[in-house]
Amino acid sequence: MGFSDYRTALVTGASSGIGAATVRRLCAEGMEVHALARDARRLARLSAETGCRVCEIDVNDLGAVKQLAALVAFDILINNAGQSRRGTILEMAPDDVDTLVDVNLRAVLHLTRLIVPGMASRDRGHVVNISSIAGHYAFGENATTFNSSVAYHATKAGIHSLSQQLRVDLYGTRVRVTEISLGRVATSIFQNQNAVENPDARFVAGFETLQSEDIADAIAFAVGAPTPMNVAMIEVIPTFQVVGGLQFARRSEAAPVQDMTTGADNA
């Protein structure tokens, strides 16, 4: 199995960054690629360039997604669409929590339940879930180098768990599941290098970051693998980036412990 055995693919978050690079890569393999995103103008340009099919759909529009899944028998599903927010759980806005859960997790679950049963019945298919090292490691504020939040970490951990369980649910079929866990990638979040206009530019300027094409190549490697080989997980990080690490706050840096009964600080 590989590209020659697959005919159709659906890529979410396809209008820019990793999604657009993946559309280009799969189209170059001669596949019929459906590019799903909300930005009609960018999708039109991508279609003119690659010949992909435009799907101007919000991943949270369950009716539209359900209709698309009923119309096309997809051999490949690339769950790439995602959003990020900054902030600890102590300061996150309710709307930010809802957006991250809706886009990063809920939409992926619905796309999977709508498309994967058809793959299983045909005994052919590949699901690629784009996750993040944020789903596997905890980062401190100074170490994160991401525009991330606790809710973002939680949703990406959910994608990791989904990928693991999906392989169990598909046991005995030739439907493969790949999780690609990313480190720092120079996607649209960081495209503006002007630190005055975009404070997140400091996470890219001066660093060797991965490019969207690097991730598209990783996807192509997993999808193009022979039938007996399921590339279950790839962790893709820049050579100069390391994950993990230990942080230990000095006593003077630690927040005072408050006595909840009296309101007094017990530092």
Active-site residues, by number, are: 152
Question: Sheet containing 175-182: which strands, arranged edge to edge?
Answer: 53-56, 32-37, 8-12, 76-79, 125-132, 175-182, 233-236
Which of 167, 154, 74, 183 shows the shortest CA–CA distance to 121? 74
Q: Are 14 and 43 in contact (CB under 8 A)?
A: yes
**What are the residues facing 10 on neighbouring strands?**
34, 77
Burial class (CB in 10 A: 0-12, 13-18, 19+), 41: exposed
Read off the DSSP letter of residue 149: B
Q: What is the DSSP letter of 221?
A: H
Residue 35 pairs in a beta bridge with 11, 54
Run of H or E including 160 = helix 150-169
Pair of tokens at residue 100:
């991250």
